[in-house]
Structure 1
Amino acid sequence: SGVIAARGWPAARIGVEMDNYWFSAAANESLRKHLRDAAFSDATGLVNWQRMVKSSHEVEFIRRAAAIADAMHSKVVELVEPGLPKNVLVAEIQKQAILGAGGHWGDYCAFVPMLPSGLDATAPHLTWDDRPFNNDEGTFFELGGCYRRYHAPLSRTVYLGKPPQKFLDAEKAVSEATEAGLGQCRPGVTCGEVADAFFGTLQKNGFTKDSRAGYSIGLSYPPDWGERTLSIRRGDRTVLQPNMTLHFMPALWLDDGGLELSETILITPTGVECLCKTPRKLVVKS
């Protein structure tokens, strides 16, 4: 409040983000107490909506983050095996995240590694403990590379042993629905139109999904790498523009397990580019 008053704005119209991770009730009360002549308005999300379209420099930072995400997933495939405690693998994942990739160091991520297995994978956002990986069990790894606070999330699923047919059917459904959704990603198309293509194809393959299939990403701090603006969900009328970056997140959380095969995508002048290079498929390790 002192800085605002010193700059000659004690009676200005001031926007505050009432729904924000980092703007507390105490901070809001202090501003209103010390700037009694100011007019306050709720500006929740205003800045985030303005930063959805990235500059060329920002896109380059996200590309570097994507290379780090690829390196993290390579480490997963290299090391995961039955009997390995989850916390041991996470330590190696985090080491790779900070070492970086392609000659660029890694920043700390806004989200921790998520790697639920078996029945735990029926829900998102579960982390790790010291239990070992088991044979005949699937684990999805939702990881994010980060470079100078810019993020590139990437999810892949690993099955140790022989996956059941339902798992393979889910992979096929997600893969085809993802291709349908990405095929609609281009400037001028709405998020809702992308969602219609994705969810329609998923349903044709015998699966349903209640949650959204993607969201805007970029610069962020804990506890979230999302920008809390557009969503790939039916009815979202946000129009895609070049240099928007999104986490395309076609996850399936089923009754007896889960499957995630996501991408960090860039909207280009003519379509879409997946920034990570890790193959989009179920990884099977015997």
Structure 2
Amino acid sequence: MSAFEKITEQESNYHGLDKMSVNEILVNINQEDQEVPRAVARAIPQIEKLVSTIADKMLAGGRLFYMGAGTSGRLGILDASEIPPTYGMPYGLVIGLIAGGEEAIQKAVENAEDSFEQGWKDLKKHFVNSKDVVIGIAASGTTPYVIGALKACREHGISTGSIACNPHSPMSEHADIAVEVVVGPEFVTGSTRMKSGTAQKLVLNMISTAVMIQIGRVDDNKMVNMQLSNEKLVDRGTRMVMEELSITDYDKARALLLQSGSVKKAVDAFRS
């Protein structure tokens, strides 16, 4: 195995950022961003293994935990928070934990990520067990909060994964399935909210979406179990019902949707 190299902290490929025009800054950022999907594509074999593991665990009654600090933690919380409204799953099935707790979602909490013990303590508050999967997220792959949690999970027979942007990181060593998306140095040296954060967001999108499809929360290409939490979603759901059942009367389809509570239930009720 190659020695660990923190590529995320390497000097930017660009110099004189403060001398660039706005157009030059934007063009160069966009140029760098184009490497991100290519790097994600190289990690698909590991992402696939992780998705399969999570889907199997969920179908057996397990949950998914995301853990991170700073930007990585916020991205995990963002992905977790989208699962109930998008797929109609219960809150608590996908859980995002961030070093420093809720306060750290909006502002930095000093030294929150430096404890090797706190991550496991936070997991235990949710009664994490062997049915669950815990994914550590850290661009550097060196965050103590995450590494300590993954290490403890392994000791307790809990499946683990990781998402890092450096190859052969310490975090990866403590994950059963390590996803490493190496996007190279950041445009602003060390600013891992940029390419690294984008890569993490893409991977999280892939994981949660693929898992929800695998466990039956998508019909064809539609979110048939989404929560009807606003008029936009009610309208979208109504049009899904109209299409699925070949109904031309919008008001009839809308009434059926609202009575049933979801597109899937409306379609099943109409056909039963």
TM above 0.5:
no
Scaled by the length of structure 1, the TM-score of the pair is 0.27
Higher strand share: 1
Higher helix share: 2
Scaled by the length of structure 2, the TM-score of the pair is 0.28
